[in-house]
Amino acid sequence: MTLQIAPRQDLLDDPGAMRDLDPSGMMDLTVGFAAQCREAVRIAAAFAPGPVPQRPVNNVVVTALGGSAIGGDLLRCLAARETDVPLIVNRDYTLPAFVSKDTLVIAASYSGGTEETLAAYAQARQRGAQIVCVTSGGILADRADTDGAPVWRIPGGQPPRASTGYLFFSMLAALAWRGLLRRSVDADVEETLELLEDLRGEYGPSVATDANPAKALARELQGRVPVFYGAQEYLGVVAVRWKGQYNENAKSHAFANVLPEQNHNEILAWALARRQAPRWSVVYLRDPRERLETPRLAHRVDVTAKVIGRSVRSREVVARGESLLARMFSLVYLGDFASVYAAYLNGIDPTIIPGIDRLKSAMRRFKG
């Protein structure tokens, strides 16, 4: 894998050059994300998992890793407003001790083969938890079929991180099936789908850099260490999604943190940041309503930007849409596009993940 140090200035306006760098079509999947979400909603609604169990659900654990887990994080943001029970995301081989027969465990693995998720699934069975799975197949689907656990089956054959629509909307359907949502979120879902269809037209590869916020952002961050900051509720989670997409698509280091927590430790690290790496860029993920709805938090972000200071290049991006779901996904989509453009600027195929592949096959060989 070779990195292009000084990319051509017009690379992002050259469709042929971008296609050459993207033989597996990550850009097609990214453009297709809006349609994927619409299809995901349809598939999830068409699945009939059977009669709703009588047992109560007192808490929900999504157990997943990487590109599958981020769908759980987004679900957690929604659940914080829309459910009466707590929902946590578990990224581990083991489940927390509170998981019991009154827990709904959503085991989500796009491939169905992630060993940590399979181990957590087995533990959920031992604890007698109520289990549902979201997967395209693999061992997880086989085990769930054998055990009689409902499986939201999603189309396979693409990278998990490019399948967030399938994963998220299936998990949302599982919450709705168990009657855990306080209200119907159908209108919010429709708003989100329509907004994504609009944004696809604004961020797509045929829109020139000077009119394309996603290309412009990727250009601005090129050759720098990006740091994504978002305030609590959903922006911090989207910051983590952006980091993951920069890591996996652009093969670039990136950092993410959430405010207010960042104000209580990481803010100090900027003192020596330029000794550690010469060029950093901060992106503040912001919400159009924060000044009205959470003015102290909005002010915190403003003050943070001042404290970090002018020596570090920074910019803001603002979510679009009305509902929480739409605002969340609007920023996810911008980050997804920017990360693929960043891969092109790095001269790198966004789809391949050699480090992860190597790690997973070494783990499969280890019989300990």
Site residues for ligand F6R per CB under 6 A: 65-68, 109-111, 114, 117, 159-161, 248, 353, 356
For the chain, give the longest Cα–Cα distance.
61
Q: Which of 82, 116, 248, 290 is catalytic?
A: 248
Q: Please state the closest distance from residue 272 (CB atom) to ligand F6R, in A.
A: 31
Task: Using DSSP, state whether 179 is helix, strand or coil.
Answer: coil
Q: Which is nearer to ligand F6R, 125 or 224 (CB)?
A: 125
Q: Please state the closest distance from residue 315 (CB atom) to ligand F6R, in A.
A: 26
Q: Please state the closest distance from residue 103 (CB atom) to ligand F6R, in A.
A: 20
Q: Please state the closest distance from residue 26 (CB atom) to ligand F6R, in A.
A: 10
Q: Which is nearer to ligand F6R, 283 or 352 (CB)?
A: 352
What gap in Å lies between CA 108 and CA 135, rounded to an integer?
A: 6
What gap in Å lies between CA 65 and CA 81, rounded to an integer?
A: 23
Radius of gyration of the chain (CA): 21
CB-based closest residue to ligand F6R? 66
Q: Which is nearer to ligand F6R, 18 or 356 (CB)?
A: 356
Contact 30, 227 (CB under 8 A): no
Q: Please state the closest distance from residue 299 (CB atom) to ligand F6R, in A.
A: 35
| Phi, psi dihedrals of residue 24, rounded to the nearest 5° | -95, 0
- 248 part of the active site: yes
Q: Which is nearer to ligand F6R, 19 or 360 (CB)?
A: 360
- 264 part of the active site: yes
String of b and e for 194-229 (b: at least 16 CB within 10 Å)? ebbeebbeebbbebebeebbbbbbbbebbebbbbbb
Q: Which of 264, 316, 322, 367 is catalytic?
A: 264
Number of H helices, E strands in the chain: 15, 9
Q: Give the 3-state DSSP-derived string for 309-327, with helices as H, strands as E and coil as C.
A: CCCCEEEEEECCCCCHHHH
Q: Which is nearer to ligand F6R, 140 or 227 (CB)?
A: 140
Catalytic residues: 248, 264, 360
